Amino acid sequence: QVQLVESGGGLVQYGGSLRLTCLVSGRDFKSYEIGWFRQAPGKEREFVGAIIWKDLLPYYASAVNGRFTISRDNAKNTVYLQMNSLKPEDTAVYYCAASSRVLVTREYLYDYWGQGTQVTVSS
């Protein structure tokens, strides 16, 4: 079992920045890939990016590539989502999730989910 808790959401203006945090705990959590997803009102949940605990680069959806950065602090069991140049279309509930597979972008391939944190970008 893996537990994930997101924090750091809030209201930000167009062009601003936010950093989301995902605190990860549980059995063998370091063998899991941690992904970020988001769900806007009336839309399906979509993949944002992911990172695995081994020394591989994170990867991103095209909609956020170049603006968002995923990193992890192994000592703190934490994964971060740094979001820059935010746009109103980035408004959504953001979730972190854990998968026992590698390089996965599909929601159904993630085994554990956090409760989500709201990000709102005003125009």
pLDDT tens across 35-86, in order?
A: 999 999 999 999 999 998 776 679 999 999 999 999 988 889 999 999 999 9
Pinpoint the alpha helices (H) of the chain. none
CA distance 52 to 43: 27
pLDDT above 70: residue 20: yes
The answer to whether the CB of 77 falls within 8 A of the CB of 29 is yes
Beta-bridge partner residues of 25: 3
Q: Who contacts 69 (Cβ-Cβ below 8 Å, separation ≥6)?
A: 58, 80, 81, 82, 84
The answer to whether the CB of 17 falls within 8 A of the CB of 79 is no
